[in-house]
Amino acid sequence: MGEKLMKAALDNGQGDYLVQKVPFPKRFKNSALIKVIQSGICGSDIHLTTERNESQILPSGHEVAGEIIEIGNNNKNLVPGDRVAVEMIGAGRACLNCIYCKNGQMRHCIHRIEDTGGGFGEYITRLPSGLFKLPDSLDWTNGALVEPMAVSVHALRYSQMQKGDIVGVVGSSTIGLSSIVVAKTFGAKKVIASARYPQQVEAAKKMGADVVVSSKSGEFEDACFDASGGIGADIVVESIGGHQSETFHQSIRATKSQGKMVYLGGMKIPMELDLIDASLREIRIESVMCYSESNGIHDYEIAIDLLDSNRFPYKDIVTHRFNLENIQKGFDIASDKKSGSIKVHITM
């Protein structure tokens, strides 16, 4: 009997995703087997594609919703057939015994299980600790949006945002938009957002931003000061990153003295940073990544509840859907915001 195979899309090292037959993901101790139903293309997937110069061996994709096919004993009462959002990076691969895991910080686990492949393949394997059951009221699109929502939940929990804060959000792509939603849900007095493309402006307003400005230099900073009586925002979330550093500096400039600049975007280049102004104004620059568990509650749980509340139409950010065979077109559309795209999903 031959090796069991599945379909997966792998980057050939030249930025082209080729759908091919690959071995099923490895099963490891206590792992569950999940059939992937829907996955989002993340900005980090696009960045890694442009940086990669060797063919992939394992499929990527970490914004995943799927159906449990096989699962052993677990303390979450999960059974085959359950629909789940999958925490791919931390809890789904964590040892659950190290100092970080015991403190709920599974993203920093020092004994993480090796990656067995992501959501751009038909099946994945992850620990039950990384599986979060979806209520019947949430469809697969919402399920695949739990991950980017959890990123912003984590960011604003980690930064200890307070009700009544004035929050600035630089950028209105997927994470910027989820940051707007979370800030409003957590009780922000005002949310000021910047957006570069028309579809982002419209989405930022739908997500609850009180003020939306363009990406032109100075506009965001001015709006944050105008909204705060000349003081600056209590918290500014930088959500863009990439191969530029202006938004990092812009975020610091818009933050009030003794405020917090929360760095969510992944900067892909070294940058010069003049810290004199930030030091004099005692601004806290906080680097935040992924998700965790705090007070016994995982960021995914809060993200699911937030999506299920249907208070903000976050689902509307999914502007394009492609099946796995057309994933390359999906990446092309996701990479070109002039196409009108915000979030692109891949369906199986």
Which domains does the chain show, CATH number per domain? 5-148+292-347 (3.90.180.10), 160-287 (3.40.50.720)
pLDDT computed for residue 269 by the predictor: 82
pLDDT computed for residue 205 by the predictor: 98
Predicted TM-score of the model (pTM)? 0.96
**Cα→Cα distances 308→134, 189, 244, 342, Å:** 9, 23, 35, 21
H or E, element range at 124: strand 123-126
**Cα→Cα distances 68→116, 143, 150, 345, Å:** 16, 13, 21, 20
Task: From 30, 40, 33, select the one nearest 150 (Cα to Cα).
Answer: 40
In the numeric block, the tokens 């052993």 are attached to 72
pLDDT computed for residue 1 by the predictor: 55
Average pLDDT per run of 10 along the chain, which is 348 residues long? 89 96 95 98 92 94 98 95 98 98 97 97 98 98 98 98 98 98 98 98 98 96 98 97 90 98 88 90 96 96 97 97 98 96 98
H or E, element range at 347: strand 343-347
Phi, psi of 343 (to 5 degrees): -120, 130
How many angstroms separate the CA atoms of 129 and 23, rounded? 24
pLDDT computed for residue 3 by the predictor: 84
pLDDT computed for residue 202 by the predictor: 98
Cβ contact 181:149 at 8 Å: yes
